[in-house]
Each structure stands twice: as C-alpha cells, then as structure tokens.
Amino acid sequence: MTAYVVGHKTPDTDSIVGAITLAYLKTQLGEETIPVRQGVITPETQFILDTFKLPEPILKTTFAGESIYIVDYSDRDQAPDDLDETTVLGIVDHHKLGDITTSAPLECWIRPVGCSNTIIKEMYDYHQVAIPAHIAGIMMCAILSDTVIFKSPTCTPIDIKVVEELAVIAGVDDYKALAIEMFKVKSAVDGTPARDLVLRDFKDFNMSGSKVGIGQLEAIDNSVFDAIKGDLFAELKNLKAEGERHTMMLLLTDIMKEGSELLIVSDDETLANRAFNVTPVEGKAWLEGVLSRKKQIIPPMEKAFA
C-alpha cells in the first residue's frame, strides 16, 4: 500500500524538504511512498526547489484510511485533522515530544538536533542508501534554514557536520553564500499582504488550556519590516479575535543582529514580562539573542502559563 510523508500545517522548508527526502529514502527501501504537503509553499522553499530542480509535493489534507509518516512535528495541532483515522507508520522530528499517540507500533526518530533533515541524513547513512546530488542539496538548505546558518541555539555540531557532507555530495562549493541568497528570498516582503506574512511561519499551541498563536519572520536585516509593522500588528489583533486565542505573537527575527523584535497581543498584559523579562511598549519589545521559537520562546511561555 502506498504511504505518504506529511510535514506540519503551514509547512516550512524542513517540512516540505523532509517529506521529499524521507519519501525518496522509503521508496529506495522498497516502500512506495509519496511526499505531500498540508499548505502553500513559501518563497524560501520555492527557491530551494527551483535551485535543485525538484517539483513541489502535491497538496493533500485528508488521509482517512491511509498510512502516513510524520516529519517535523509530533503535536496533534500540526497534524492532519483526520489523524485518528490514519495509520502512523513513523515520526521523524526534532521538537519537544507532542501529544500524537498511535494504536500500533511505529518507527520513531526523534532527536534534539537543529533540523529534521539532519536526522533523515542519518537515516540514509544507517540504511546505506546513496543520496542523489539534488536530494543532498535540498537537505543541506533545509538544515541551513532551520539552524539560521548555524546561528540558532538549536544548532548542534552534528548539523554542521551533516551540512558539510551534503555540500560535497550536492557539489556546492560555497554553501554559506547559497544560504545568504536563500535568506534574502525569505526576507522579501514586498507586495505580500500582512496577513499572509503573519501566517507564513505560524503555529498554534495549547498552553495549559489557552490557545496561543506564534508566527516568526526571519530577515537578514529586519528593517525590511519597518514600513509594515503597523499592518502586521493590526493583523495580529484580527487573528486573535477570529481564532479565539488568548495570545497572538509575531517574532521579527534579525539574523545579523541575532535577536528578535516581539509583537504581542494578549489577554494577559503581564505575560511578556513573566516569560521574557521585558515590558512591551505598545505591544513591542526587543528580545536580545532570541532566534529560536522552539528553544527560546515556547519553553518560557509554557512556564508562564503553567
């Protein structure tokens, strides 16, 4: 039976690339497996697929009766809505353990590294399956994206070693130059509606019963957001009301300054102070050294809600 590999909702590069690279591996191992996506491709991901000449996975959001592999999450909130009607064959992830459970044994590759594709590269090595150049290229870019070119506190020496190995296989001499080009594409906001930007890399979390939405935009230099910050803030307010959320947050991450500006709208005015020890002015505060939502935002937020 054909299986599918599906990344999280609002897919980022790791989710799309992970679906492609894990499906290729599984197919090489004799299991016919198809990569799919739960949402639109970002400009960054499109750039990577164009660079290495790979087609985008097909859009698929219902999986009742199907077998699936899950990549880059283990939270139900980020899974297909009909997850309970699927058979989960495996999970490959690098986030905190979520709340997905299964009724049958499954394969789990969950490790605290910077990117799901780092783990997938190790799976290729474990199974001794050769990685084609174009597959190596997209894996390398996914790791450079998730680790913010190794600057994120989530980055480990394993991620760096894997990128260096993949660069050789992909035939890319200067992978950092390619990564800067990739982040320039990611930084481009011209003409994109504010709502689309807030939701581009967006996740909902259940924090002790409260719904919290957190988006993140990364730029080489976050002055690109200056002209549209008011519009972004207005959309945070709209989305908070529409989604019955307790809190909406957007991180404007500056890769070169190595920090993030926090935009926050919350029912609890003391939340930012309790979580990050900052006092927002008109809903905005600078978070020095904060690059990673998963490692530097979610844990203190969950503590503040506990």
Q: 14 or 261, CB closer to Mn ion?
A: 14
Binding of Mn ion at residue 146 (CB under 5 A)?
yes
Q: Between residue 79 and residue 118, which ones bind Mn ion under the rule CB under 5 A?
A: 116
Q: Between residue 253 and residue 272, which ones bind Mn ion under the rule CB under 5 A?
A: none
Binding of Mn ion at residue 14 (CB under 5 A)?
yes
Binding of Mn ion at residue 44 (CB under 5 A)?
no
Q: Give me 258's structure tokens.
A: 């190595």
> Nearest residue to Mn ion, using CB?
14
What is the contact mask toward Mn ion in residues 57 to 76, using x (rule: CB under 5 A)? ---------------x----
Q: Are 291 and 151 in contact (CB under 8 A)?
A: yes
**Smallest distance from the beta carbon of 94 to Mn ion, in angstroms?**
6
Q: 139 or 252, CB closer to Mn ion?
A: 139
Binding of Mn ion at residue 12 (CB under 5 A)?
yes
**Smallest distance from the beta carbon of 53 to Mn ion, in angstroms?**
23
Binding of Mn ion at residue 159 (CB under 5 A)?
no
**Smallest distance from the beta carbon of 10 to Mn ion, in angstroms?**
9
Can you give the binding site for Mn ion, defined by CB under 5 A? Answer: 12, 14, 72, 116, 146
